Amino acid sequence: MQQNNDRPRRAGGGHHSAVGPAGGPRQTPPDEAGDLRYTDPWYDALASGWGESAGTGPATVPAPPARREPRAAADADVYLEVQRSAAFQEVRSRYRRFVIPGAAAFFAWYVAYVVTATSAPHLMARPVAGAVNVGMLAGLGQFLTTFLLTWAYTRHARLRRDRAALDLRWETQELARGRGGAA
C-alpha cells in the first residue's frame, strides 16, 4: 500500500478499519512528528510496482555521472563529423529514395480508396463474387499493401542500409572512444 500525505486531512484521529469515514482511505496513527497519514490502497494502483523489486519500494537508479563540458563538445564533434561523412549521406540517401516514393504511393492509394468510397458508392457496391463487392476487395487491398510495403521496407533496409549503418555505428563508437567521449 502507498501512503500519501498530499491529500487533505479529514477530521478525526486515531486508527480506523480498512475504510475511513464516508468510504475514504483509512487513517493510520500519527507518526513521531504528529502528522496524520493516510494509506490509500487505490492511489496510483496501476503504477505501483512498476520499476520496484519485491516489496523494496521504488527502484533506485544511480544518477548519471556529471558531464564535463569538454567531453560533451567532443561527443558533439564526433557526431557532426559522422553526419557530414559520405557514408552517412549515402545511408540517408538510400533511406529517402525508398521511403519518400513508397509513402507517397501508399498515401495516394489510400486517398483514392477513400475518395472513391465516398464519391462513387455505386462503383464500390458492384458485386464481384457472391456477397463480395469492389469496396470489400479494395479495403482488403489496403491491408495487403500495408503488409507488402512493410515487407519491402524491411527487405530494402536489410539489403541496402543495415550493413552500412552498422559500420557507421562502429566508426562512431571508435571515434568517441578515441577522443575521450562517450562509448
What confidence tens digit (pLDDT) does each residue in 130-164 have? 889 999 999 999 999 999 999 999 999 999 988 89
**Percentages helix, strand, coil for the chain, rounded to the nearest 5?**
55, 10, 35
Q: Furthest-apart CA pair in the chain: how many Å?
A: 80
pTM for the predicted model, two decimal places:
0.53
The span from the CA of 43 to the CA of 37, in Å, is: 13
* Identity at 81, one-letter amino acid code: E
Whole-angstrom CA distances from 34 to 1, 37, 40, 129, 163 are 21, 9, 19, 79, 65
